[in-house]
Amino acid sequence: MRRVLARWPFLLLALGIGVLLILVTYPLSCSIDPLIERAKGEIPEAKVIAYLEAVRQGDEVSAHNCWRPANEHLGPDYEARRQAVTEAISALGSNFSFHVLNVEWWRTCCEPGVIDDPKNAGFARLRVTIGEPSGEKIIYVFDVLVTGGSYWGELVGCPVRHWEIIDAYPDGEEPLYWMWPFEIVRFISA
C-alpha cells in the first residue's frame, strides 16, 4: 500500500507537466504554422502568383495545376471558367504585370463569414490588378480555398493548410463556387 501511495506524487507531477506542455505548445502551434506555410509557399498569395507566372511563361499545364482539379462537384462551367481566364490573361502577352491589392479572409467552419485573423481562415478572396506595365489594367478576383474545403483553425491547433485556386473572374462578376455573399444578397432581395 505504501508503494502505491509513494507513486502518487510522481504520477501527479507527470500529469501536471503533461498539461503544462499542452498549454504552452498549443498556442505556439498557431503561431508557428503560418511560418511553415509561408516557407512552403502554401499561402493564397503564393498560389495566385505561381498561376500568373505560369501564364506569363506560356505554361498552361502548370497554370491549370494551380487550380483545384475539375470534378463533377464543381460543375461543367468550372473547366470553362479556368480556360477562359487563362486565355484572357495569356492574351496580354508575356510582359503583363500584376499586383495583389488585398486579401479578404473567410472562416469555413460552422457558418462561413469574413474574419480578421488569417490563421483561422479556410478561404481567401484576393483582388489582383493585371495588365500591361504602362497600359490599362483590369482587376481580377481570385478565390482560394484550403484543400478539403473546411478549416477549423485554432479549434484544432492550426494545422498547416494547403491552398488551391477554385475560381478567378473579373471584379464585378459573380463567382462560380464560393457564393456566400451573393446567396445572402439574393435571399434578402427576393
Strands 97-107 and 163-170: unpaired
pLDDT for 135 equals 82
Q: By C-alpha distance, which of 73, 98, 93 is closest to 168?
A: 98
Q: What is the DSSP letter of 57?
A: T
Proportion of the chain above pLDDT 70, given as a percent = 68
CB 143 within 8 A of CB 165: yes
pTM score of the predicted model: 0.75
